Amino acid sequence: MNWSNLNKSMLVLFLGGIDHILWIAWYLGCSLTPSLQHWLNPDYFKFHVTRMSICCILSFLLIWPCHYYRHNVYAQTYLPYISIIFFSLTFIYGGYTIGISSPATIAGYISLVTVGLVLFERKIIYIIFIPITIYLLIAIVLSMLGKMTYAPVYSEEVNRSILIHNEFWVYSQLYLYIPIFFAGLVLFEVLLTQWRNREKQINEISQIDPLTGIYNRRKIASNLSQIQQDQQSYALVLLDLDHFKKINDSYGHDVGDQVLKKVAKILSANLRGEDVVGRFGGEEFILVLKNKSLKQAMDIAERCRLEIEKEPIYINKSTMIHASASFGVALSKLSLSKEVIIRQADQALYQAKDSGRNQVKPYLDSI
């Protein structure tokens, strides 16, 4: 989640406060229902309601310093620890009241630790949850040995019964755990969605030229490798903008960037189907035209050349310039590697430049 630790702490405290409200609602609802009163410990009522109410209020109150001091360095460092410690202690207390080894407590603990490890830095969770885990294990052992009261919120009638056959106990466990389960599920879904989006962005960044929005050299090389692996024929077109350095020097890099973007747009608009365009480096572009003859590739290159030549580049409202490009075309052969085909297209490109620029030339062996 692309939030600061303080923002995450505020979320945890808010969810903790909501969970406490649900616990209090369950307890009061059961206490005020005559048919359910005998399942609860009446001697524990006042103490438990008071304690849970205090925990609930403090959960919401702690949100204020997290928000108010969110730009303070010390608050950014220590308040997440304080918030998570408080949340953990209130959870352990709640787990103790309904049974330290009950399904709701253990499942809730596992859910919270799992979400915590994903949500926060690991050191925060380890520092807090390792001692809490040790306490949890000790409390379970002491409860089993009868040295610690087990599930004091329930009456003796519940604790002496076969719990899994007691509908009140079973439904109470479900009621107390389900909010934690769904909160964890929602947080996981949010985190997984953000991870997928981030992975998609990283993948796009690794393949897309950030200035022009077309494929970069790395992605083009990958495409060529795949095409050759599939033993498909293709034509390869290399083009270089004529006198591009002069444009940069005379009008500035902003105008140069504008030229590159317009050329990329023109090239993309003139491709069809599985054809691919990429920026090969600097002012050089590359077209990979699948299953095209030399004539088809030459026609596409010529069409692109003409559109680049006539496209106006506005420096300001009263001044505009035109760019031009030289093209070299080569055809693939199964016996030749992609590096050789690129070199052949490059040789044809330089022949176009030597012949006066702003023209399309094929590699001689392709004719």
Residues β-bridged to residue 290: 234
Q: Are residues 151 and 192 in the same domain?
A: yes
Q: Is residue 185 part of a domain?
A: yes
Query: What's the predicted TM-score (pTM) here?
Result: 0.66
pLDDT score recorded for residue 335: 86
Does residue 35 carry a pLDDT above 70? Answer: yes
pLDDT score recorded for residue 319: 84
Q: Is residue 270 part of a domain?
A: yes
- Which of these, 274, 342, 331, 277, lies nearest to 304 by C-alpha position? 277
Report residue 18's pLDDT band, with 50, 70 and 90 as the boundaries. Answer: very high
Q: Are residues 33 and 162 in the same domain?
A: yes
For residue 324, the Cα-to-chain-centroid distance in whole angstroms is 41
Q: Is residue 97 part of a domain?
A: yes
Q: Is residue 15 part of a domain?
A: yes
Report residue 1's pLDDT band, with 50, 70 and 90 as the boundaries. Answer: low
Of 206, 233, 258, which residue is a domain's last? 206
Please write the tens of the pLDDT for every residue from 204-257: 788 999 999 999 999 999 999 999 999 999 999 999 999 999 999 999 999 999
Q: Are residues 114 and 170 in the same domain?
A: yes
Q: Are residues 230 and 200 in the same domain?
A: no
Of 143, 177, 206, which residue is a domain's last? 206
Please write the tens of the pLDDT for every residue from 49-99: 999 999 999 999 999 999 999 899 999 999 999 999 999 999 999 999 999
Q: Is residue 211 part of a domain?
A: no
Q: Is residue 347 part of a domain?
A: yes
Q: Is residue 171 part of a domain?
A: yes
Does residue 24 carry a pLDDT above 70? Answer: yes
Residue type, 13: L
Which is higher by pLDDT, 146 or 343?
Answer: 343
Q: Is residue 318 part of a domain?
A: yes
- Which of these, 78, 73, 93, 189, lies nearest to 124 by C-alpha position? 78
Residue with tokens 């591009």: 244
Residue with tokens 């009868």: 146
Report residue 283's pLDDT band, with 50, 70 and 90 as the boundaries. Answer: very high
Does residue 366 carry a pLDDT above 60? Answer: no
Report residue 175's pLDDT band, with 50, 70 and 90 as the boundaries. Answer: very high
Find the helix packing angle between 167-207 and 103-119, rounded to 10°.
20
The residue range of the domain holding 183 is: 5-206
Of 155, 179, 206, which residue is a domain's last? 206
**% of the chain exceeding 70 in pLDDT:** 99
Q: Are residues 278 and 353 in the same domain?
A: yes
Q: Are residues 224 and 280 in the same domain?
A: yes
Report residue 365's pLDDT band, with 50, 70 and 90 as the boundaries. Answer: low
Q: Are residues 169 and 277 in the same domain?
A: no
pLDDT score recorded for residue 25: 94
Find the helix packing angle between 167-207 and 5-32, rounded to 10°.
160
pLDDT score recorded for residue 316: 83
Which is higher by pLDDT, 187 or 266?
Answer: 266
pLDDT score recorded for residue 199: 87
pLDDT score recorded for residue 6: 92
Mean pLDDT in the chain? 91
Cβ–Cβ under 8 Å, residues 238 and 280: yes
Q: Are residues 258 and 360 in the same domain?
A: yes
Q: What is the CA radius of gyration of the chain?
A: 34
Q: Are residues 104 and 62 in the same domain?
A: yes
With helix as H, strand as E and coil as C, how does the chain read?
CCCCHHHHHHHHHHHHHHHHHHHHHHHHHHHHCCCCHHHECHHHHHHHHHHHHHHHHHHHHCHHHHHHCCCCHHHHHHHHHHHHHHHHHHHHHHHHHHCCCCHHHHHHHHHHHHHHHHHCCHHHHHHHHHHHHHHHHHHHHHHHCCCCCCCCCECHHHHCCCHHHCHHHHHHHHHHHHHHHHHHHHHHHHHHHHHHHHHHHHHHHHHECCCCCCECHHHHHHHHHHHHHCCCCEEEEEEEECCHHHHHHHHCHHHHHHHHHHHHHHHHHCCCCCCEEEEEECCEEEEEEECCCHHHHHHHHHHHHHHHHHCEEECCCCCEEECCEEEEEEECCCCCCHHHHHHHHHHHHHHHHHCCCCCEEECHHHC
Does residue 22 carry a pLDDT above 90? Answer: yes
What is the CATH classification number for the domain harbouring 299? 3.30.70.270
Q: Are residues 195 and 286 in the same domain?
A: no
How many domains are there within the chain? 2
Q: Are residues 288 and 175 in the same domain?
A: no
Q: Are residues 192 and 223 in the same domain?
A: no
- Which of these, 123, 122, 114, lies nearest to 188 by C-alpha position? 114
Cβ–Cβ under 8 Å, residues 267 and 214: yes
